[in-house]
Structure 1
Amino acid sequence: MVGGASILVPSVQELAKEKRTQVPERYVRTDLQEPPFVAGGGDSYPQFPFIDMERLTSTDFMDSELEKLHQVCKEWGFFQLINHGVDTSLVKKIKKEFKDFFDLPLKKKNKYQQLLGDYEGIGQLFIMSEEQKLDWAYLLVLTTRSIHLRKPHLLPKFPLPFRFFR
């Protein structure tokens, strides 16, 4: 396997459409600890952490925000970036295009499926054995940087909205 290359596995979107009474055993994870939740602002639902870009670039708050970033990466592995300066309309447009892509019928999405031994395309990463426990996730991986890592033969296959990322 190279980098994040994986054995191909079924789409969790398709598995979720099936009438099931329980989650398939391969997706049940008993080996994980639940991360601590960041208190929600009055909501009864917990919210995941955020990092403030303005604080990261401020001399007054940089150290505390860097420490928060360090802890969030260790404990959560992801975060929402706020005050980043990207126009809200662009963020909404990109989110809609990704939603539209993942809502395509499976037959159309399969044109973008990862190839065996590769990591770019739609699928999951780091699946190394048929017995391995799986995350309930389905990803679209596009390499944009560095240019030598790009796969130009895939470009014509990706839907038009994603071509500007490359």
Structure 2
Amino acid sequence: MDCLREWPEPIVRVQSLSESGATTIPAHYVKPPSERPSAAPAAAAGAVSIPVVDLGKLEDGADAETVKAIAEACRGWGFFQAVNHGVSPGLLRRAREVWRAFFHLPMEEKQRYANSPVTYEGYGSRLGIQKGAILDWGDYYFLHFLPLCLMSHHKWPAQPPTLRETTDEYGEELRKLCRRLTKALSMGLGLEADHLPAAFDEEGTCMRVNFYPKCPQPELTLGLSAHSDPGGMTILLVDDHVAGLEVRKDDSWITVRPLPDAFIVNIGDQIQVLSNAAYKSVEHRVRVNASSERLSMAFFYNPRSDVPIGPIPHLLTTDRPALYQPMTFDEYRLFMRKAGPRGKKLTG
């Protein structure tokens, strides 16, 4: 881990660049022409969108219609919007409010939590340690919920005063939701409800709160480069008044139009491996704009980090043998951390 102890260059907060009044962005945020948001055609607004799944009838993964809808979305898209998910709209509002307030604190207060590439935990402005890399237009705060040996409230912001309490409550509600969803995903593979959740017996849960400031040249950069998520499953809460997330579908980028109080759910690389690519971990990226800042809260539900993850044996046949060699999540995460959020590492 020695190579990960320090950032390769001095850290500059993107929010500071945005608030400086500059009309151009620094060169190290300008993406190559092939990666710019205008380089690939996006689907026409309203023409196509990711599936929407109503979770109102999902009780312990047992409602057949809901299980089928979740499985079809994860096989065909790797993404869906979840409505009637059982998490209080009031809690969603409070979670967004406290974290937006954090990012609008004075810089000296936020700098108390500046992170390092050892764990990414804390206040950060870049992912990946490649020197001279083209950076993304965004800041973030990364924190752990589980395992308990990694979680410490002292590493969470002390301001605003209700942030720690609200974030604790939010994390507990999302862990419950993830457990329900993994049962449904297991049944969608034709397995017993507890088969897939067994891989998450000693689950790891963490969250990255992303802050994308206004950008004077949004056509030249991205808030987050195209990538697939390395973990098990991601539950994303976004500002529903401004779009930014795009999902790759075939050769097009599909803009996600967030529904009020909905979660955006996507499959990560570990569930693609466990399902032997029946469920897809799909590339996605984040656009920024000149007129609005944007906040998103990505809750990551991951397997135990030191146990090798490979395709579930019950899913293997002579016609479809294992597509992946087992690898621990720790090993995979280190590989991803060195590379940063660039592209999709798994095939299948």
> What TM-score, normalized to structure 1?
0.72
- Do the aligned residues in 2 keep the contact of 1:5 with 1:126 (CA within 8 Å)? no
- After TM superposition, the runs of 4+ consecutive aligned structure 1 residues lying more than 6 A away are none
- Do the aligned residues in 2 keep the contact of 1:120 with 1:142 (CA within 8 Å)? yes
1:158 is displaced (CA, Å) by: 3.2
Q: How many positions carry a matched residue from both structures? A: 155
Percent identity (aligned): 25
Gaps of 5+ in 1: none
Mapped partners of 2:123, 2:80: distance in 1: 22
**Which position in structure 1 is the counterpart of 2:146?**
145
Mapped partners of 2:86, 2:99: distance in 1: 21
**Which position in structure 1 is the counterpart of 2:29?**
27
Kindly tell me: are residues 110 and 35 of structure 1, through their superposed partners in 2, closer, same or farther at Cα, counting changes over 3 Å?
Answer: farther
- Do the aligned residues in 2 keep the contact of 1:119 with 1:141 (CA within 8 Å)? yes
**Which position in structure 2 is the counterpart of 1:93?**
94
Equivalent residue for 1:63, pick from 59, 68, 78? 68
Deviation per residue, 1:10-54 (Å, 9 max, x gap): 11111111222222221122253758558449xxxx9x7465351
Mapped partners of 2:65, 2:26: distance in 1: 49
Gaps of 5+ in 2: 169-348
1:150 is displaced (CA, Å) by: 2.0
- Do the aligned residues in 1 keep the contact of 2:12 with 2:125 (CA within 8 Å)? no
Which of 113-122 and 136-145 deviates more? 113-122
**Which position in structure 1 is the counterpart of 2:111?**
110
**Which position in structure 1 is the counterpart of 2:125?**
124
Kindly tell me: are residues 63 and 38 of structure 1, through their superposed partners in 2, closer, same or farther at Cα, counting changes over 3 Å?
Answer: farther
1:89 is displaced (CA, Å) by: 1.2
Instruction: Say what the alpha-carbon RMSD is for the aligned residues.
Output: 3.4
What is the SS of the residue equivalent to 1:13? helix
Which residue type is aligned with residue 140 of structure 1? Y
If each structure's helix is expressed as a fraction of its own residues, which one has the higher value?
A: 1
- Do the aligned residues in 2 keep the contact of 1:6 with 1:124 (CA within 8 Å)? no
Mapped partners of 2:82, 2:5: distance in 1: 28
Mapped partners of 2:94, 2:132: distance in 1: 39
What is the SS of the residue equivalent to 1:141? strand
Mapped partners of 1:123, 1:94: distance in 2: 19
- Do the aligned residues in 1 keep the contact of 2:122 with 2:142 (CA within 8 Å)? yes
Mapped partners of 2:82, 2:18: distance in 1: 29
- Do the aligned residues in 2 keep the contact of 1:6 with 1:119 (CA within 8 Å)? no
> What TM-score, normalized to structure 2?
0.38
Kindly tell me: are residues 134 and 70 of structure 1, through their superposed partners in 2, closer, same or farther at Cα, counting changes over 3 Å?
Answer: farther
Kindly tell me: are residues 88 and 25 of structure 1, through their superposed partners in 2, closer, same or farther at Cα, counting changes over 3 Å?
Answer: same
Mapped partners of 2:80, 2:108: distance in 1: 32
Mapped partners of 1:115, 1:71: distance in 2: 37
Kindly tell me: are residues 97 and 80 of structure 1, through their superposed partners in 2, closer, same or farther at Cα, counting changes over 3 Å?
Answer: farther
Mapped partners of 2:44, 2:73: distance in 1: 12
Kindly tell me: are residues 37 and 108 of structure 1, through their superposed partners in 2, closer, same or farther at Cα, counting changes over 3 Å?
Answer: farther
- Do the aligned residues in 2 keep the contact of 1:52 with 1:82 (CA within 8 Å)? yes
- Do the aligned residues in 1 keep the contact of 2:29 with 2:136 (CA within 8 Å)? yes
Pair 1:161 & 2:159 matched = no
**Which position in structure 2 is the counterpart of 1:16?**
18
Which residue type is aligned with residue 68 of structure 1? A
Mapped partners of 1:50, 1:13: distance in 2: 33
Q: Relative contact order, CA 8 A, sep 6+: which one is greater?
A: 1
